[in-house]
Chain A
Amino acid sequence: MGDLLIDVAREAFTPTTAAFALAAVGLNFHFGLTGLLNMGQAGFMLLGMYGYAITVREGGPIWLAIIVALVVAMVFGVILGWPTLKLRGDYLAIVTIAAAEMVRYLGRSQNFNSLTGASTGIRGNEFKGSFEALSPFPDRMVDVGPFALHGTRSTSWWLVVVGWALVAIFTLIFWRLSKSPWGRVLKGIREDEDAVRSLGKNVYSYKMQALVIGGAVGAVSGVIWALGASVQPDSMGRPTTFWVWTLLLLGGAATIFGPVLGSILFWCSLVLIKGLAAMWIPDTVLSQQQLQPFSLLLVGVTLMLLVIFRPQGVLGDKRELAFND
């Protein structure tokens, strides 16, 4: 039991949790502020991964790799938004989910094997070196309290620090922008585009800005994810997008800390449920391999209950943003 609690607590700060929090901050620009139904956040993340990993692998410095990751995702946002942002919201949902799948399929296609490594992806040791070389932590396992992580490599204290620093920076940016007149225009668009148009604002341009910024934050999240694992196109499929949605709604869309809280709650409860199920449910009923899908199933049920009974999420103000309104 004690080990399980430590595992749960560790999950609260792992780089994966930070990466999902970042992806949800991006989605919060789309959905929370502007009401854009982006169902392809994983596509932005995957492009960020490829942009970073390929640039570094080809010998580029880290700063260039980050710029490439951002630019690729932003260009993707413009291409997606250009034809669809003039249409009603649902169309964007359809286009984004399809476009994200296209990115994944192109990434895993044999034609681009030399660039993306096809379905195998890009192995961590091809692009993580330069980032890990910057680590101020020792190149061995480091214990902090009850938590043991490597100092430098992959899921390391170094990546934890960088990941959460980025979460803090982008949360701050979200806070600054959402409380500005710019954010007010976006909220107006979320409520009624035509009303905002009639007040003299260029709605199309604002929606494009929101889509591009949120996508760029998604790309950064992809980079953090890749540095903790590897670039694997199939890990950025539809489920990833849906998890990002789940945890954003769980924490509370349109709130400042909703994405962070949502990500922590989501991943910790997943580990907790898995751990408890392993403890209480005998092997003959559910085998080890069935535990993961079982706990995800419970998460799905939780999301349904959430949308029914607390549509505004944990932090949300029901009057301001309810999912089913």
Chain B
Amino acid sequence: MTDIDPFANVPHEPGAPKKDPIVIADHVQRRFGGLTAVDVDHFEVQRHAITALIGPNGAGKSTFFNLLTGFDKPQKGEWQFNGNSMKGVSPAKVARAGKVRTFQLTKALNRMTVIENMRLGAADQRGENIFAAFIPTLWRQREIDITERAHGLLHRFQLFEKKDDFAGSLSGGQRKLLEMARALMSEPEMVMLDEPMAGVNPALTESLLEHIVKLKNEGVSVLFVEHDMHMVRRISDWVVVMAEGRIIAEGPPDSVMLNPQVQEAYLGVHHDTDLSEESSS
């Protein structure tokens, strides 16, 4: 936490307004036939903080994630990022606006090398224009800068030795790291991590957590979907709980799990499991 807790006067209730929201969503509704997957009245994400989005399976977390990043379109609703409406904006433009996401099922580009994966994440490479591609002098300097940044990130994520290996040869956890590092190539203002811990072995979990906290310290806003309650408790500043498509509770990690509605939502689904052992599968 910073010296002044940005959540100091934020009420512990669904849809609570934040001091300095980076994401605001209103009346977002996504239906699949008769099923309402997401029905969120109001939602705000605090800037420069780590916000966790949790909830039982089928709560609509991933769908909501897809809506916020342009990968899915809702039937109705308004949402904005950094004050700009993101309604109907394509995933690519959302990313270019500074909000980059990762995926629950890791999308490392397997038959490309680690370093090529990283370079692809960079923004403003003129050589990605087909006409400029013919004239290397237009993009070679940018390529050098990109590669330098990629090397820095790979060092930080302990992937530097693997830089010339095909991404497909990495372990599941390393691919998660690669995906996160790649998302950082464009220096985003916000990263959205969809189950960053899914399928990662415990040894790597620790370093992943550290990386996420480091992101916050560098001024990146983080929103992540997660099942693992240990992780949520350890690193998040604020927790938003979804169940059956709606936000049912918000609050700091310690108190939100004591909320009777949250316990009901979880216990209704897994009434005999310890929440702290909740696994991603």
Contacts and interface: CB of A to CB of B under 8 A. Distances in A.
Given A177-B134, A181-B127, A209-B130, A197 B110 contact: no
A202 B92 contact: yes
A274 interface: no
A187 B123 CA distance: 17
A198 B127 contact: no
A258 interface: no
B193 to A, nearest CB: 12
Contacts of A176: 133-134
Contact of A198 (B69, B136, B166, B168): B69
Interface in B192-229: none
B130 A188 contact: no
Interface in B92-108: 92-93, 95-96, 100-103, 107-108
A197 B120 contact: no
A272 interface: no
A202 B89 CA distance: 12
B186 interface: yes
Contact of B112 (A191, A201, A202, A209): A191
B95 A181 contact: no
Nearest to A196: B120
A93 interface: no
B71 interface: yes
A320 B129 CA distance: 24
Interface string A301-325: 0000000000000000001110001
Contacts of A188: 109, 112, 120
Contacts of B82: none
B119 interface: yes
B111 A200 contact: no
Interface of A: 176-177, 180-185, 187-188, 190-192, 194-203, 209, 213, 319-321, 325
B109 A191 contact: yes
A194 B71 contact: yes
Given A185-B120, A188-B109, A194-B71, A200 B130 contact: no
B127 A182 contact: yes
Given A198-B91, A320-B111, 13 more contacts: A176-B134, A177-B134, A182-B129, A192-B107, A192-B109, A195-B179, A198-B100, A198-B102, A198-B103, A199-B95, A200-B186, A203-B92, A319-B111
Contacts of B71: 194, 197-198
A320 B89 CA distance: 33
Given A182-B129, A184-B119, A188-B120, A197 B95 contact: yes
B143 interface: yes
Contact of A180 (B93, B111, B139, B186): B139
Interface string B162-179: 000010110000000001
Nearest to B111: A320
A180 B136 contact: yes
A181 B102 contact: no
B113 to A, nearest CB: 9
B259 to A, nearest CB: 33
Nearest to B69: A198
Given A198-B103, A199-B182, A187 B166 contact: no
B128 interface: yes
Contacts of B26: none
Nearest to A189: B109
A197 B91 contact: yes
B166 A319 contact: yes
Find the residue from A185, A199, A202, A209 having the highest chain B CB count within 10 A.
A199
Contacts of B108: 195
Given A176-B133, A200-B96, A185 B111 contact: no
Given A195-B103, A195-B109, A200-B96, A181 B123 contact: no
A197 B93 CA distance: 9
Contacts of A200: 92-93, 95-96, 100, 123, 186
Contacts of B78: none
Contacts of A201: 92, 120, 128
A194 B109 CA distance: 10
B110 A191 contact: yes
A172 B167 CA distance: 28
A325 B111 CA distance: 10
A193 to B, nearest CB: 9
B125 interface: yes
Contacts of A191: 109-112
A202 B108 CA distance: 18
By Cβ-Cβ distance, the 4 closest A-B pairs, closest first, are: A181-B127, A200-B95, A195-B107, A180-B133
A183 B112 CA distance: 12
B246 to A, nearest CB: 26
A185 B127 CA distance: 10
Nearest to B128: A181
A176 to B, nearest CB: 6
Contacts of B110: 191
Contact of A181 (B91, B125, B183): B125
A197 B90 CA distance: 9
